[in-house]
Amino acid sequence: MTQTLSRLVADPGDAVPITCVTPESWSRVEDALPASQAAYARATEFAPKAGRIALLPAADGRLGQVLFGLGDGGDRMIAGKLPGALPPGAYRLTSMDGFDAGAAALAWLLGSYRFGRYREAGSERPVLVVPEGVDGEAVSRIAEAVAQGRDLVNTPANDLGPAEIEAAVRAVAGRHGATVSIVTGEELERAFPLVHTVGAASPRAPRLIDLSWGPVDAPRVTLVGKGVAFDTGGLDIKPSSGMLLMKKDMGGAAAALAAADMVMGAGLNLRLRLIVPAVENAVSGGAFRPGDVIRSRAGLTVEIGNTDAEGRLILADALALADAEGPELLLDFATLTGAARVALGPDLPAFFTEDDALAAAVSEAGIAVADPVWRLPLHKPYAGLLDSKIADLNNVSGGPFAGAITAALFLRRFAPGTRAHVHFDLYGWNPSTKPGRPEGGEVQTARLVHALLAGRYPRA
């Protein structure tokens, strides 16, 4: 994969200062400016609103200083606006005025991302001097993991199928000394029948990707990511407008892989497992049909009410595999339902768990690293909406209500032994550019999960 990120560098000695200002500090900063720069700031009507930028000239005509408005300081990603607004060169943050320098450095890197696989990514990017007291290497590792995940989501399905998802997992595993096993073909059909069924219509073979890393006696944490390389909807085919962004239907796998990359790079004290069922939900004579009944890995029979609800099917087999090992913590990631987007919009993934203490920790981690989520309820009476007259359960409710909740309840049937289970229903895409979040693929919840696990299982 190819991506363009800015860099964090040592101070070259001539880095241009970026002075961060709030409404409270602006008068003091303005008074300290050289007379010519203060006049220029007034002439250009600079105000310390969030994201406002003023490029102040030095006496010799070169760029002498940058003013950057923080507003009320509530947006931890606001510094992500800087790399796209500044000319090439080296910059250093000064007068942070209480703003988190580590968050600013990460936002800078994330905001500099450009997807450059199919065309030039643009001119040379500005670079940032590592702020004092910030672990530049750790920040860069997180940014690189996010960038690679974004690359996966942004890559169209003609260049990213199940085999390429496998290659991406193997590449990350190779950097960290992890092991990877793959299940395909007849073995997949026997051991993971739902994964096989969903991928059977595509000429690109489905597979179950299983990565392991870390000391075998450490606490076990398992990540499961939905890897649907493209989703036509199957025989319940989507309209053309519904397929336009379906290259992102492997966004759950990308988020899980990015989180795993961060965890391994940080050397956290845990036994990590990453499971990715990778398929393409295509249309052919081999496609599964509405009304089919499939026996899952867990032994539960599933009636197919809709072939476009394929993500929960492949996750069901993967969760059954994960649950059998009894992990201390199980987290799954999926671009699963439109209902979650209707409820919360594209920027706020839904999450579900029965563990109230874990839910609070997830929410707090999301706020702390500006990767927010919102808890929705696992309302058990809605499980009846998945009843089937001929199988243990249907894969859809058949009605218009509570689609995200019924999907989460479906998944819980396949990991009954793991109470500390979190299901993330995410969008995996930025519809428009915001600071630190360029338009395009996004690995929502990956940084949140890294922060959560870093707090629970710090490096030994």
Q: DSSP H helical segments within 77-226, as ranges?
A: 101-111, 136-154, 162-176, 185-191, 193-199
How many whole angstroms separate alpha carbon 22 and alpha carbon 29?
A: 10
Q: Which tokens in the block code for residue 459?
A: 């490096």
How many whole angstroms separate alpha carbon 367 and alpha carbon 448?
A: 8
Give the DSSP H or E segment for 128: strand 127-129
Q: Which tokens in the block code for residue 190?
A: 């026997």
Selected catalytic residue, list 141, 238, 375, 456: 238
Q: Which tokens in the block code for residue 32?
A: 């300290």
- What is the SS3 string spanning 28-81? HHHHHCCHHHHHHHHHCCCCCCCCCEEEEECCCCCEEEEEEECCCCCCCCHHHH
How many whole angstroms separate alpha carbon 254 and alpha carbon 240?
A: 24
Told to judge if 238 belongs to the known catalytic residues of this protein, a careful annotator would answer yes
Give the DSSP H or E segment for 331: strand 329-334
DSSP 346-383: TTS-EEE-S-HHHHHHHHHHHHHTT---EE----GGGG
How many whole angstroms separate alpha carbon 72 and alpha carbon 88?
A: 28
How many whole angstroms separate alpha carbon 208 and alpha carbon 273?
A: 13
Least Cα distance to 448 among 210, 172, 263 occurs for 263
Q: How many CB atoms lie within 10 A of CB 34?
A: 13
How many whole angstroms separate alpha carbon 21 and alpha carbon 98?
A: 10
Selected catalytic residue, list 81, 125, 273, 312: 312
In degrees, rounded to 5, the angle at the alpha carbon of residue 174 between the alpha carbons of residues 169 and 179 is 75
DSSP 253-289: HHHHHHHHHHHHHHT-SSEEEEEEEEEEE--STT---
DSSP state of 82: S
Told to judge if 413 belongs to the known catalytic residues of this protein, a careful annotator would answer no
How many whole angstroms separate alpha carbon 26 and alpha carbon 7?
A: 29
Question: Catalytic residue positions?
Answer: 238, 312
